[in-house]
């Protein structure tokens, strides 16, 4: 009986360690993949800025402009994952009415 309890506890510990390792891997890879999929580039920034300029004034436009500014700052600091995330948020804010 004691052996079965120890095996269950060991099995749970292995599962927790595996889940923690998977989470760490995902956090390490997510920003890199976001930058390559979303494409944080000057061309995409320009395209999004042009889209936002044509929007009617309002909360959505202001939110999108803030996200563009944060995306530009992240791009200048070499934080491609953060840049792609802000650029994506700006595009989504631009699509909302």
Q: Each residue of 34-82: pLDDT tens digit? A: 444 457 888 888 888 888 888 888 888 899 999 999 999 998 998 888 9
CA distances from 70 to 6, 21, 42, 90 (A): 51, 31, 14, 10
Q: Distance between CA atoms of 82 and 87, rounded to whole angstroms?
A: 9
**For residue 75, what is the enclosing H or E element?**
helix 59-76
- Tally the domains of the chain: 1
pLDDT at 69: 93
pLDDT at 3: 52
pTM greater than 0.85: no
pLDDT at 32: 47
Give the domain range for residue 90.
2-95
């Amino acid at each position: 009986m004691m052996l079965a309890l120890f095996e269950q506890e060991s099995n749970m510990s292995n599962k927790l360690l595996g889940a923690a390792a998977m989470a760490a891997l995902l956090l390490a890879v997510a920003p890199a993949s976001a930058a390559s999929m979303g494409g944080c580039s000057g061309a995409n920034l320009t395209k999004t800025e042009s889209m936002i300029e044509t929007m009617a004034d309002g909360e959505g436009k202001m939110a999108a402009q803030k996200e563009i500014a944060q995306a530009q700052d992240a791009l200048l600091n070499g934080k491609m994952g953060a840049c792609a995330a802000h650029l994506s948020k700006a595009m989504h804010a631009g699509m909302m009415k």
